[in-house]
Amino acid sequence: MIELRFLGTGSLGDKRPKNKLSKDYRRFPTLLIGSQVLIDPSEDIFEFQESFSFFGLLSSVSDVLITHSHLDHLSVSAIEALAKRSEIRVWATAPVLDVIGDIRGVRRFEIAPFSRITVGDLDIIALPANHATDNAREVALNFLIRRDKTLFYGLDGAGINPLAFEVLKEVSLDGCIFDCALADGEYSQGSVNHNNLDAVKIIIDILQKAGCCTDGTKYIISHLPSAKKGGLHDRLTEMVEDTAIKVAYDGYYICI
């Protein structure tokens, strides 16, 4: 079993409603795996902990994985704050480690596409993502995460990188988390960095036909827009009610 808690499910630049406990209030995307592993700790994680009264939620974090250097996925100040509590290990590509720099209490480990690492009791493969940054040297990452179950973490990214697909088609996936930053909006050839809901459904169909997803696979969409006027979460939930897709929200908890 892999325990997942979504501390943020939003996108960069979105306006948020006033109610911080609303399912349409979306912080920058951060995932907590168990109690010790964080993916993409954002500047919002401590406010999340306070708003939801999850005091001590982050006290056991020992390892941080970074997908890429965009501001909604990387907060150097959050890493500094985590390291003041106890030593942490940060796993990221060389360009991201350059952004982070030397921080007291942080041990830095360079990874690249297809790196295989062990983090606690998790075996993780870094996979290339279809997502560009301003640094031509940087390759954004997705992650294949294994314990007794297998999870694909696909934020950020449009579709699935062909090289990553070659790895995924050889495994059986118990859960998938997909980028859906375009929500139910239109998808065009120019939308090369993110998915909409229709694109997510196509990805699921491809993975099912490849045999790596089954009727028991859990699908979750995240990296969604905040809706200042509300209603987006309920609208998306209604749109997927006849599918196996779940719409994540800040505070969402699920076991894979």
CATH number for position 192: 3.60.15.10
pLDDT in tens, 177-234: 999 999 988 765 546 789 999 999 999 999 999 999 999 999 999 999 877 667 899 9
Q: What is the domain extent for residue 204?
A: 3-255
* CA distance linking residue 237 with residue 1, whole number of Å: 25
pLDDT band at residue 23, thresholds of 50, 70 and 90? very high
> What confidence score (pLDDT) does residue 192 get?
74
- The one-letter amino acid at 203: I
∠54-48-140 over CA atoms, to 5°? 120
CB-count burial class (<10 Å; 0-12, 13-18, 19+) for 102: exposed
Question: Look-up: residue for tokens 């694909």?
Answer: 152
Closest CA to 49 of 77, 78, 12: 78
Contact 211, 225 (CB under 8 A): no
Alpha-carbon torsion angle 172, 173, 174, 178, nearest 10: -170
* CA distance linking residue 36 with residue 147, whole number of Å: 14
- The one-letter amino acid at 111: I
- Tokens matching residue 38: 């964080």
pLDDT in tens, 128-167: 999 999 899 999 999 999 999 999 999 999 999 999 999 9
Whole-angstrom CA distances from 8 to 73, 123, 193 are 10, 24, 19
Any bridge partners for residue 91, and if so which?
Answer: 65, 109
Please count the structural domains in the chain: 1
Any bridge partners for residue 109, and if so which?
Answer: 91
- Tokens matching residue 85: 């509590």
